[in-house]
Amino acid sequence: MTTRKWLLVILALCLFCLWALALPALPRFAGHSEDERVIRQLNEECLKAHDIGDLSTLDRIEDADFTLSGDFGIVSKQQHLERLRKRTGKPEVITRKIDSQQFRFYDGIALVTETDRPTTADGTFAFQSTEVWVHRNDSWMLLHLHYSRLEQSH
């Protein structure tokens, strides 16, 4: 083989190796419509459970390693559930509109971004949130939720 042919073979092998190494890190967009449906449903259940203080539903949906973050800092699953357990008063009636929901999938992980617009007796608010879901034991579990309140102009 000539030097030129060897260089082409080596280049082809290098390109194949780069492609093979990068493949697991690339988002998987196709074929996840059922996963999106399931995560949307779980997300709705989670938000409703938070609103009414349904700790058993939150415990079922949130992973054991769940963390919640916002302007208050970061709290663990147990801290989050304890705060809700101590909440006093009657649960508010809250209606929600979820906008701009986007999904990205990576080998058993789903990254979801959305705008949550809850309406309460005090008005309508807007929160930008990012969620990390993990697929374990044939089910999706919420691993992390971060949210930030948006200005009313959004």
pLDDT of residue 63: 97
DSSP element (H, E) containing 52: helix 33-52
Q: Distance between CA 111 and CA 35 in Å, rounded?
A: 12
How far is 18 from 23, CA to CA, in rounded Å?
8
**Domain assignment present for 114:** yes
Number of domains in the chain: 1
Q: Is 71 a member of any domain?
A: yes
Q: Is residue 121 part of a domain?
A: yes
Output the pLDDT for position 29: 46
Residue 142 lies in a domain: yes
Residue 143 falls within a domain, yes or no? yes
Determine the Cα–Cα distance for residues 115 and 95; give it in Å rounded to an integer: 14
Q: What is the pTM of this model?
A: 0.76
Q: Is residue 86 part of a domain?
A: yes
Please tell me the predicted confidence (pLDDT) of residue 2.
77
Q: 41 in a domain, yes or no?
A: yes
> Is the residue at 87 inside a domain?
yes
Instruction: Please give the residue range of the domain that contains residue 107.
Output: 30-149
pLDDT by 10s per residue, the chain, length 154: 677 777 667 777 777 766 666 655 555 445 789 999 999 999 999 999 999 999 999 999 999 999 999 999 999 999 999 999 998 777 777 899 998 899 999 999 999 999 999 998 888 999 999 999 999 989 999 999 999 999 875 4
Predicted confidence (pLDDT) per residue in 87-113, tens digit: 877 777 789 999 889 999 999 999 999
CATH of the domain at 104: 3.10.450.50
* Alpha carbon distance 39, 34 (integer Å): 9
